[in-house]
Structure 1
């Protein structure tokens, strides 16, 4: 008599992506859903960042930014709106955020998602080696930024550890992968300018989720100052 063996549970993998999200748009969410398909992520945490005093403040409040992220996440159940940094009321170092996420998902492998525009300066981040001890790094393409701009130290690590076998990213940490996603060149500044020039009959911009645009309209966000 044959004994039915239970299937092994697929290792859980969780990703983190932070940003100002002012507002969140499809240039954020579409690549994340695409990557979740590729890597089999169970959760992708979208975390609005806290605006420090020495940087320009976001155009809308933390409450509005968070609510727009929540609405954008409704279109993909794997996307999770995460207010961890906003609740700290101060900028939070990525290594500390990842440690917090690891405590939330102790059995999961972590992936940290960043744009190539940030990756070229990654070795200047506080305890960047600690980030790689906690998570794999997934790098999104950005217009105008090339691999040649990445410091040699990171290029060597990418050559040695970056692997096309995506199953390797379901455990451990420290791998670096250049994502091959459909990139949409979206400028948040231009999008805000477009929203400021709208009127009551302006259709939803194609770069915004309809739910997010409805929220913007309802609350009069990004209106031109008179």
Structure 2
């Protein structure tokens, strides 16, 4: 039987319940054997993370401990170069059987930005793309993606076939929480209880992360 493996990347600065709930919903809905959360080291399209790669990795590890099928994959943190998704996909493909299905999870904003990604036209050679669409995301995809969507999208993510090559949308429970909001609350001395897992909150406090500069 072909395995179903999902990957979900991000700075996770810090990881929060929005990341985790969305990932778990997709993994359960599509029957993933594993869903790997991949912290990025030097994301090409985002500001430099506020805390170290080691701290961000440790928080993700704390967050997913004992929560199958979620796992942590640290390959991008070991790379001495920007975190390009195409490199990660190529690396993962060498570890999987040819028939295994690989799914790249992207939020709507990230998906709309695909035409700015390094070698973005090659992504579907290695994976299916699952776009995590919230009910309030009603903007249209950019023109550069419309032909791709017309040719490659399927209406039901459950019928994605083969190891790669297709796009599907997965509706998500909207959780109005962001890493920026969490960092701002912590910097102002306010509580982020219930916005991050308890183990992540304990790590943040134990290591004095996201405090306002003295």
The answer to whether the aligner puts 1:137 opposite 2:125 as a matched pair is: no
* Contiguous gaps of at least 5 residues in structure 1: 1-8
1:120-166 C-alpha deviation (Å, 9 max, x unpaired): 12123222221011100011136875352x13453343344322443
Following superposition, the deviation at residue 220 of structure 1 comes to: 1.1
The answer to whether the aligner puts 1:109 opposite 2:65 as a matched pair is: no
Q: Which one of 210, 215, 221 corresponds to residue 209 of structure 2?
A: 221
Q: Which one of 175, 182, 186 corresponds to residue 173 of structure 2?
A: 182
Following superposition, the deviation at residue 87 of structure 1 comes to: 0.4
How far, CA to CA, are the matches of 2:180 and 2:100 in structure 1? 36
How far, CA to CA, are the matches of 1:173 and 1:51 in structure 2? 26
* Contiguous gaps of at least 5 residues in structure 2: none
Q: 1:93 to 1:37 in 2, by over 3 A?
A: same
**SS across alignment from 1:36:** helix
Q: TM-score, structure 2 length as denominator? A: 0.89
How far, CA to CA, are the matches of 2:158 and 2:181 in structure 1? 38
Q: 1:144 to 1:152 in 2, by over 3 A?
A: same
Q: Look up the match of 2:75.
A: 84
Which of 211-220 and 48-57 deviates more?
48-57
How big is the alpha-carbon RMSD for the aligned residues of Structure 1 and Structure 2? 2.3
How far, CA to CA, are the matches of 1:136 and 1:53 in structure 2? 22
Q: Look up the match of 2:182.
A: 191
How far, CA to CA, are the matches of 2:43 and 2:30 in structure 1? 33
How far, CA to CA, are the matches of 1:74 and 1:170 in structure 2? 31
**SS across alignment from 2:7:** strand
Q: 1:146 to 1:165 in 2, by over 3 A?
A: closer
How far, CA to CA, are the matches of 2:139 and 2:181 in structure 1? 26
**SS across alignment from 1:97:** helix
Q: Which one of 111, 114, 134 corresponds to residue 119 of structure 1?
A: 111
Q: TM-score, structure 1 length as denominator? A: 0.84
Q: Look up the match of 1:38.
A: 29
Q: How many residues align?
A: 213
Q: 1:27 to 1:95 in 2, by over 3 A?
A: same
Structure of higher CA gyration radius = 1
